[in-house]
Structure 1
Amino acid sequence: MGPLQSLSAQTLAEPVPLPEPPELPLPVQSGDNMVVPDITIIRRAGKTIHEYRVNGELYKVKIVPDYGPPYYLVDIDGDGNMEMRHSDLEKGSRLPKWLLLSW
């Protein structure tokens, strides 16, 4: 028996200690405490507006024009006002958030 054969026989004969199993995650809780937004849908000429509110506070508006992709206006700092972003090129322009990919 050569040295490699005896080494592999010893390796197979010795049990390898197994690592400790990880702790199990906590069980999934009921969704009773989850915050579900109130959605108000308003139909206007040329567009549909979806207003999203949590505890009466407006935090997002989705605007779906009759032609073109929908866009969003979001209350970033939580003050209840939709934020306007200004660029140095176009003063006073409102930049909507467009949905780029969806599947």
Structure 2
Amino acid sequence: MRVMKKLWVLALLLPLTAFAAEVPDNLEPLPEPPPPPPGVQDEAPEPEVTITKRGEDTVEEYRINGELYMMKVTPRVGKPYYLTKEDENAGWSRNDGVAQPISIPKWVLFRF
């Protein structure tokens, strides 16, 4: 029991030692980083979202650089779901948003 009390006191006093450390007087601010090279973007591009009605369903199309990569389908009745493009040659896979989508390997072994 005495050991536990000592450990608790040590655990409470250990963070206080960080505040007691002295800061040197000769600190200088870091220089500004150089600008990024030309052609490099700082941020990821924002997707372009187009909302359309198909019958009673609402479809939101997400595009980056003009390429359609995801669609969100909101039916009139039921939960919305997502259609994502797996790769350029494959079709669309459905994702209900609850679990990670299953990625099926699609290796090309032979071409005739």
After TM superposition, the score normalised by the length of structure 2 is 0.46
After TM superposition, the score normalised by the length of structure 1 is 0.50
RCO higher in structure (CA 8 A, sep ≥6): 1
Select the structure of larger CA radius of gyration: 1
